[in-house]
Amino acid sequence: MFFILITFLLKEIEAQILESNSPATLLQTTWKEFKCNLHLGGVIALCIILAVIGASVLWSHFKNVQKRIDEARGLILLTYSGAG
């Protein structure tokens, strides 16, 4: 993701150099775009991290529920088979 962002920014800088006459204006515009893209990249990364954590918590919860269901099935089988 980071490399894609850097590649995009470098292509934008190159395009603006070809279109712009003033390097100061180019630098100012590029810095604003870089800050905006960096902020957007951070938000996307945070969302991905939160999604992974949420999926991990849900997976752990469902595994515990499945384990309890299997234990209950085992108890039911023991009870009805007459062994218990």
From first to last of its 84 residues, the chain has per-residue pLDDT tens of 566 777 777 777 777 666 666 666 656 667 777 777 777 888 888 899 999 999 999 999 999 999 999 888 888 887 877 655
Counting other chains too, the contacts that 72-76 makes at CB distance below 8 Å and 24 or more residues apart are: none
Residue 58 to residue 52: CA distance in whole angstroms: 10
Tokens of 67: 């384990």
Cβ atoms of residues 41 and 1 within 8 Å: yes
What does DSSP assign to residue 12? H
pTM (two decimals):
0.49
Position of tokens 């269901």? Answer: 69
Rg (CA), the chain: 28
